[in-house]
Amino acid sequence: MSLKTTFQQHPERRYIMFGGKGGLGKTTFSAATAYWLASQGKKVLVFSVDPQASLSDIFQKDIFGKGPVKIMENLWAQEIDADQHIREYQNEIRQKILDMYGFEAVPDEIEQYIQAASAEPAMEESAIFDAVVDIVVGGNYDYYIYDLVPLGHALYYLSMAKVYDEWINKITKLREEMREYEEMVSRLKREKETEEDQILRELQYIRTRINTSSRILTDKEKTAFFFVVVPEEMILVDTQKAANLFAKFDVPISGYVVNRVVPRELLSQNIPSYLRNRIEMQDKYLKQIDEMFGAQVASHVPELERDVTGLPMIEKLAGIMFGE
């Protein structure tokens, strides 16, 4: 099934993701798909969850950390600045402590913890994860296109939702048990009411946020996940492994897009053996792709004469991908 028909038959799939190994064209396809949808009159936001995002490069416009930036009619792009997000978040926590206890300054011990926690390796991913929730909860767009991180990180991103969820469940349970003891004491002391447990409320808030995000990633109705592959052995092996893992996390895989296919027409021309060999190699793996993924292959995209940056090139690529 072609990409165009997939999109036309499933207008309810509003969350579009391109995944795959690094450097295969995830950002390029995200941009091209966003462009095509926008030109069809849909309001589209393409955003990157990659700390080393390259949407700025492809749109040739500095959008890093600037919120949604309008690229053209109906099309917005956003690159999340994780560091900025973390800084704002830290300040929010500090302010809350100052407000709650009327301190002049955050106690040393607490300040150290805030800084140490932010240096954790998981912090950046978590911050982006959290920022994405804000983006998708907003719901202002017809389509949300995730320019995902390379495979390994994407898996981490997915599993993080599960780990968080379990963690929250456990501590919520503990918190609820604590609540029972508190209520027992109030009953014994014949006090009318216990204070509302703020922490429990916070935990429930955190849980809703995490669930929102992971629900979208695994929503078979509303999400379409595409793998980007190129006809090369290593890529195919890795992609198949990843596809299995993604399936385990219930990510609905909608199709595969094959990139960098050297145009067959060249064969009829007088071309050097170097190129001829490459085409033969690709033929072998294209056959393999066909056997592996069959009808799930949504599009073949040729190796273009130059790299895809700037709107005219994106438009050209969108034309190829969506068959216009």
Residue with Cβ nearer another protein (11 or 156):
156
Q: From the CB of 181, what's the least distance to another protein, in Å? A: 4
d(CA 153, CA 155): 5
Question: Phi-psi region for residue 294, left (φ > 0), alpha (ψ -120 to 50) or beta?
Answer: left
Cβ distance to another protein smaller for residue 81 or 130: 130
In angstroms, give the least distance from the CB of 158 to another protein: 14
Q: How far is the CB of 126 from another protein (least distance, A)?
A: 3
Which amino acid appears at position 147 of this protein? D
Shortest approach of another protein to residue 155 CB, angstroms?
A: 16
Pick the closer one to another protein by CB: 6 or 172: 172
CA distance 90 to 72: 34
Beta carbon nearer to another protein, 9 or 208: 208
Burial of residue 135 (CB within 10 Å: 0-12, 13-18, 19+) is buried
At its nearest, how many Å lie between another protein and the CB of residue 251? 21
CA nearest to 33, candidates 42, 23, 20: 42
Q: In this complex, which beta carbon is closest to another protein, that of residue 104 or of residue 305? A: 104
Q: Which is nearer to another protein, 44 or 49 (CB)?
A: 49
Least Cβ distance, residue 193 to another protein (angstroms): 11
175 vs 222, beta carbon nearer another protein: 175
Instruction: State the minimum distance, in angstroms, from the CB of residue 184 to another protein.
Output: 5
Question: Which residues sit at the interface with another protein, rule CB under 8 A?
Answer: 89-90, 93, 96-97, 100-101, 107, 109-110, 113-114, 116-118, 120, 122-123, 126-127, 129-130, 160, 163-164, 167-168, 170-171, 174-175, 177-178, 181-182, 184-185, 188-191, 195, 198-199, 202-203, 205-206
Q: Closest CB to another protein among 122 and 267? A: 122
| CB-nearer residue toward another protein: 136 or 229 | 136
CA distance linking residue 84 with residue 79, whole number of Å: 12
Token pair 């704002």: residue: 88
**Residue spans of beta strands (DSSP E) within 4-162:** 15-19, 44-48, 69-72, 75-79, 143-147
* C-alpha distances in Å from residue 35, one per residue of 208, 213, 293: 32, 24, 26
Q: CA dist 244 to 250, 253, 299, 300, Å? A: 10, 10, 21, 22
What are the distances in angstroms from CA 279 to CA 174, 193, 239, 260, 268? 61, 76, 21, 11, 12
CB of 99 to another protein, least distance (A): 8
Q: How far is the CB of 55 from another protein (least distance, A)?
A: 24
